[in-house]
Structure 1
């Protein structure tokens, strides 16, 4: 039998962040990860000298960036240039990213250019929370008149959220993510695996016990109170606090009678977002000018992250492509479309190919703030004392990795605030305060 103050189940960004902040608060903390390495969907794979993330990853100037800086992480990498193309009717067109490209792009009429510039200027200072209760489509159709400006904004907002359909996402969070992107985006040297290694070291230095290759089978919550974490190998850990940094589905499976708790609601309302991701390492770029493109009438994105980050030991160019997916997916068709985008942007790329990685359907997020949501998950499971949830799906207005770090910090803040109330109530009872 083992005993700790806090057990974190899941070793991705949310789990590591929760464990670190729990340890910083003086809690004896254990993190349990079922895989043989930490990181979840933020791991990086090295193939023939090239560093591949699990799909294109970019760190926006949001909660995660601020959190990692607060923790003292180095975050080595650079911001990419803003030069971009838009794919429209099978052709490349300059996408407005600065004053010069705004006035020279053939995509927009003169009136459209003025509207686009005006909207971006307003977005920078906008209080996006005003639009949390309407969809992306409602915001676009209600605020933009020019049809092509609408198309371009749909493309930008899709890239910010990874969600194909504009009727589902709440506009506020996605506009906030685009707002963050305008402040700067960071591509990380050697991929996000370096970030995970820094988080792992930080947790270890703070005394967090990191356990990998171990699967939790259930959480003992008899009487509505967290009591034990039980692992498949028979290990039992006594604890008062459990943070489930897992998917909502797994969280439900780990908790007996979860259908009687908010965990059930959070699982039922969850809408998973997936993407097909193709990464290639090329000996050189056939067309060095064309390194970043948004699909306007295609749900795709291409970025050469090597233009800003060290992603190869031998100077290869690492390009990431994304196909944002809806309910229906077709692995072969998605690959063909992504390779077609590469043909358009980098004709002759196959002759330069060193190695590639294709992920036909990877989970981007298990849930997000959408118009069908009944409530925002966490940080606490109200029916069970000491049980918490964290992850990109436990969003209260943040998007993707920002939701992972923000939800993890909410858990620890809630835990400490509750303990403070209990301590004050105890002292009041004793007549101390």
Structure 2
């Protein structure tokens, strides 16, 4: 039996963030990770000198960027140009992303251009929380008039959130994410694995113990309070506070009698979002100008991340192509769609291929802000003292990695405030005479 003040189950972005903030607050902390390396879906794979993320990754101007900067991470990389194209009826057409491209694009009539220009100005000051309780489709159909402007907003908001479910998705959070994206995004040198390396180093500097290749099988509790974490090899970690950064279904499975806790409601309301991703490293680009492409009438997106970040040791161009998925998926069909997107944008790409990675169904998020959501998950599991949840699914309005870092900090703040409250002396009530 090992004893710690804080045990974090899961060593991805949320887990490492929670561990660092707990350790910085003076808590003896351990991270328990089932894989042999930390990072979760933020790891990077190196193939033939090219760095591949697990699907498309971009760092927005949101909570994660602010958190990483607060922690002092180097975040080496650059902001790409937003000049790009849209796929409409099988053709590549200039996407209206700025004044020049707005005037030049054949996608819009003059009236449509004026409406889009007006909205691009208004978006920066829009109070997005007013639309937290309506669907994205209701917002678009109720606020935008030109049919093509509506199509463009569907494409922009789908890409900002990685979700293709406008009837289910709450409008407010994704509109806020679009606000963040319009400030520019950051592509990271050597992929997101570089962020994990820095978080791991920082955690170690603050004394966090990292236990990898150790699968948690149960989080034991008694009399309404957590007791310890039990691993598959029968390792046990006793802790006053346990932060679970696993998906809602896994968290539910790990906690005995979870049916009588909020974990059950959180699992039942969760809707997983997935994507098919094809990453390729090319010796050169057959069409150098065509590096950033939105699908307008297709749920695809293409970006050459090498245009802003160091992602290859030998100068290869690393392109990520994504297909946002719904409930019905077919790996062969999705791969064909992704390859056809590359055929359109970079014809002859197969002749330049150095390495590739195909992920037929990778989780984007285990839950998101949707119209069927009844409960905000976390940070605390109210029925079990000392048990908390964090991760991109434990969102209170943030999306993707912003939800991971924000929920991790919420969990730590909650456990610290609980300790502070417990530490205060309790005085019996008496009347003042």
Shift of 1:428: 3.8
Distance (whole Å) between structure 1 residues aligned to residue 331 and residue 316 of structure 2: 26
Larger displacement relative to structure 2 (35-44 or 156-165): 156-165
- Correspondences of 1:269-348 after superposition (within 5 Å): 269-348=269-348
Change (3 A) 1:430 1:391: same
Shift of 1:427: 5.0
Larger displacement relative to structure 2 (221-230 or 23-32): 221-230
Distance (whole Å) between structure 2 residues aligned to residue 189 and residue 428 of structure 1: 56
DSSP 3-state at the match of 2:190: coil
Unaligned runs of 5+ in 2: none
Distance (whole Å) between structure 1 residues aligned to residue 366 and residue 242 of structure 2: 20
Taking structure 1 as the reference length, the TM-score comes to 0.98
Structure-2 residue corresponding to 1:421: 421
Distance (whole Å) between structure 1 residues aligned to residue 313 and residue 404 of structure 2: 30
Structure-2 residue corresponding to 1:263: 263
Structure-1 residue corresponding to 2:222: 222
- Correspondences of 1:189-204 after superposition (within 5 Å): 189-204=189-204
- Correspondences of 1:227-246 after superposition (within 5 Å): 227-246=227-246
Shift of 1:237: 1.4
1:324-369 Cα offsets, whole Å, 9 max, x none, are: 0000001011000111010110011010001100000000100001
DSSP 3-state at the match of 2:182: helix
DSSP 3-state at the match of 2:97: coil
DSSP 3-state at the match of 2:339: helix
- Correspondences of 1:23-172 after superposition (within 5 Å): 23-172=23-172
Structure-2 residue corresponding to 1:177: 177
Shift of 1:2: 1.2
Larger displacement relative to structure 2 (44-53 or 162-171): 162-171
Distance (whole Å) between structure 2 residues aligned to residue 420 and residue 228 of structure 1: 22
Give the CA RMSD over aligned residues.
1.0
Distance (whole Å) between structure 1 residues aligned to residue 188 and residue 342 of structure 2: 22
Structure-1 residue corresponding to 2:355: 355
Distance (whole Å) between structure 2 residues aligned to residue 88 and residue 60 of structure 1: 26
- Correspondences of 1:208-219 after superposition (within 5 Å): 208-219=208-219
Shift of 1:222: 1.3
Distance (whole Å) between structure 1 residues aligned to residue 3 and residue 349 of structure 2: 56
Distance (whole Å) between structure 1 residues aligned to residue 238 and residue 350 of structure 2: 55
Shift of 1:430: 11
Shift of 1:419: 1.6
DSSP 3-state at the match of 1:64: helix
Distance (whole Å) between structure 2 residues aligned to residue 404 and residue 109 of structure 1: 41
Shift of 1:224: 1.2
1:350-397 Cα offsets, whole Å, 9 max, x none, are: 100011000000001000010000111000000000000000000000
